[in-house]
Every structure is written in C-alpha cells, then in structure tokens.
Amino acid sequence: MEERRVVDYFVVVGASGEQSQDDTNSTHLKQSLCSDLPPIIDLAVVFPSLGEKVPPGYTLIETTPTGLVADLNHGSLRSPEVFLCYRRGRNKPPIVDIGIMYDGKERVLHDAKVLKTSVSGQIANINNSTSSRTFITYRRASPTAPCNILAVSHVCIVITSRGETPPHAFCLIHKNLNKGMVGSDVYLCYKKSVMKPKSITYQPVITDRYPKTDRNYFHLLPSVALFCLPMGATLEAWPDEASQPDPIFSTFVLTVSDASEKVYGAAITFYEKFNGILSNEQQKLLGLKDSYELKKGISLHANKSVCVLSHWPFFDTFQKFLMFLLKTYLDKQIPIPIERYITHLVDEVPFPSPERPQILVQLSTDTQLILTQPEDLPIPRR
C-alpha cells in the first residue's frame, strides 16, 4: 500500500438499473420472495359438535405434531370438542403474540384482545372445567409497524400427557388448557418468524463509487456488493402506513492479494422509496393486479447500502460517519453537498500518526469524528 488512508473507497450498493425491465430471465434477478408464507392475522375457536364450521379462508388445526386429535378438550368426557383455526394474509397487521387467560384471575395487557366468542357467537371457553373459564388472547402489530417485524407464523397444539413436546423453535405457553379433573394436559404453542412483504430480490451490484478509478494498490472487487447486501437487493410492496425499519449497521473483512492483507468494510443498509415504473411481470411478482393498486394504500421501497472500505478497522468512526451521511441525505436541508463529505473523508482527512495520534473531523455543529492511531502500527505512540 503506497500511503496510509483512513478510507480507500466509498461505495453505494443496490439493484442494477435493469430491474425495471420486463425480463424475468435477467441475470440480475436473483429470486422472488413471494413464496414466503403470509403471517397469521386472525384466530378463531370452533365447536364442531355444536354445528360450527371453519370460516372461509381459515385453516383448522386438526392434529398435533404426532398425529393426535388437536381437540383443546382432549381426553374430557362431557366437554364438547373445541378446535383452533387461523387465517393468513397481508391485508391487516399480523398477530405478534398469543396468550392464555384464566378468566377472573388475570388481566391482559392494554393492547391485547381476548377471543371471547366462537365463530357462531358461542362463549369461546376452551377449559373443560365448568367452574372457571379460559380464553385465548392475542396482540396485533401496530398499523404503522415496519414490515420486517417478528410475528406469529405457525400455531400448534401439543398434549404433554401423551409425551408430546413443542416442535423446534416453537414457544410453549405454560398454561394447561384443561383444568378439570378429567382430561389430557393440552398446551398451545406458537412460532415467530420475521415477516417479509411481497418482494422481488435482485443480485446486488455497485451502483456508484468514489473514487471512480481503482487504487493501484487495491482494486475494488464487485463481490463487495454481496457483503453489503448478502440477502440481495429487494424491491418491496409495503402498506402505506408501515414505518421505515431502522438502518442496519454491519461490518465485514475481505482478504485480498494474499492472506496477510485485510480490508475492512463498514456498511449501513436502509430503504428508500421506489418511484420507477413497474413492468407487468414485476406487478405480478409483487401481487399487484395493476398499477392502480399502488394508489390504494400500497407503496414501493427498495433497499440500498452505503459502505466504506479501509485497511484499518475504524468501525465506530465509520458507523458514525455513515449514519450522519444517511441523516443528511434524508434531511435534504443541509447546504453542503453530500459528495463533499465523502471526498473530504476519503481524500483530505490525514491518517493518525505518532506526531498527531488523534484526528478530529467536525462534520457539523453537533457531530464530530475522532480517529486514533491504531495500536498495531509498528511505530509506538509518543
């Protein structure tokens, strides 16, 4: 390396401009995430012996993981059969928590709902005892919650008195549904997953960079894009009310030339609104019948990553710089062009030396960076 620089490259990573082409066989199309299961948005209690039927669009939990009948009153003699069913979808906020409430003995959270009636209006008591009642409770995500939150993706029933245990990654609610003298030990379990909106995933590429030409001691590799967006560059359809997820900071290490030379990467991943024109194929992949649906509460967003590459692991400093840069970009009220901050850090900020072990970089009146000479330099500090 010819000279010590604080930053070697600044890069922007996203989807190729070809993502708007009506060509599903494009090499830039990596995969579609539309096959992901929609989250569970509704629960319902059904009493088949009382003539109740599963509502349209709902799935009945008929059996336990080992094939037993998933009757919530399993093993009871006089109690009616009662089953749980659920509905998936993306037309309302998902359910994020499920609970069990012993009526008259507990209080639920202020944002929780109690499933008090069955599909036909019967009292949805799932306890086989006549002396007390037990109800299922649930909490729903806020309409403004980000699209990538943890939500309930699966629900199952286990009968522990028959030797059953919760499936892998399922959470067991430690409240027996059967409180009577006769009956099996029945428990409700659920699993949470990160919910994904309808989306298309593209192979990420470097869409912009500084400097534009390679350093003679370190050539910028296209594979950097995969380190910045390892899950791909996505185009996503969100409800208009959904809020932006927080930016994600990540780091990585590249080995170049030989195993002894390492390059450190620091990246911030965020979303911005997509204002391009969708092709017919993209509308189909995103579950949109036509462009009119975009005016009925659906908005498009694309992820992007900004990254700095350096031979020195100033990760805290890089995180602070990238977050400042992102805030400045979103603010759009700063009189200084954003490119000026980038060229200043890459070309003008000196590397800490024994004579100047600390370098102060003032980005704004309330934001400053402090660069300290790395401990592993061959020349010790004075």
344 contacts 332 by C-beta, under 8 angstroms: no
Question: Are residues 80 and 14 part of one domain?
Answer: no
In a domain, 238, yes or no: yes
Is 345 part of a structural domain of the chain? yes
Q: Do 183 and 235 fall into the same domain?
A: no
**pLDDT score recorded for residue 129:** 73
Contact by Cβ (8 Å): 4, 351: yes
Same domain assignment for residues 190 and 217: no
| 43-54 as b/e: b if 16+ CB within 10 A | bbbbbeeeebeb
Domain match, 180 and 209 both? no
pLDDT digits (tens, 9 = 90+) for 28-83: 454 444 446 889 999 999 999 899 999 999 999 999 999 999 999 998 877 889 99
Percent residues over pLDDT 90 in the chain: 57
Claim to verify: residue 206 and residue 344 sit in the same structural domain: yes
Q: Cα separation of 125 and 65, whole Å?
A: 23
pTM for the model? 0.76
Per-residue pLDDT at 21: 43
In a domain, 374, yes or no: no
- Is 61 found in the same domain as 110? yes
Sign of the torsion angle spanned by Cα atoms 324, 330, 335, 337 = positive
Examine residue 81 and state whether it is found in any structural domain, yes or no: yes
Q: Across the beta sheet with 171-172, what order do the strands follow?
A: 150-159, 186-194, 171-172
* 144 CB-contact burial (10 Å; exposed 0-12 / middle 13-18 / buried 19+): exposed
Residues forming a β-bridge with 241:
none
Note whether residue 327 is domain-resident. yes
Cα 308 versus chain centre, distance? 24
Which residue ranges of the chain lie beneath pLDDT 50? 1, 20-28, 30-35, 377-382
* Residue at a domain's end among 178, 194, 210: 194
> In this predicted model, what pLDDT tens digit does every residue of 300-328 receive, in sequence order?
999 999 999 999 999 999 999 999 999 98
Asked if 189 and 227 sit in the same domain, the reply is no
Quote the pLDDT of residue 380. Answer: 45
What is the count of structural domains for the chain?
2
CB 193 within 8 A of CB 151: yes
Which residue type sits at 161?
A: S
Query: What contacts 172, CB < 8 A, 6 or more positions away?
Result: 158, 166, 187, 188, 189
Same-domain pairing of 179 and 217:
no
243/188 same-domain check: no
pLDDT for 79: 83
Q: Would you state the pLDDT for residue 45?
A: 96
Pick the closest to residue 218 from 250, 255, 271, 183 (CA basis). 255
Distances (CA, A) of 21 to 69, 187, 271, 277, 381: 51, 51, 21, 9, 56
Same domain, 190 and 210: no
Same domain membership, residue 261 and residue 141: no
Q: Where are the beta strands (DSSP E) in the chain?
A: 9-15, 29-32, 40-46, 58-60, 83-88, 95-102, 112-115, 134-140, 150-159, 171-172, 186-194, 199-202, 204-210, 233-239, 248-256, 261-273, 298-310, 358-362, 368-372
Range of the domain at 152: 40-194
Burial of residue 253 (number of CB atoms within 10 Å: 0-12, 13-18, 19+)? exposed
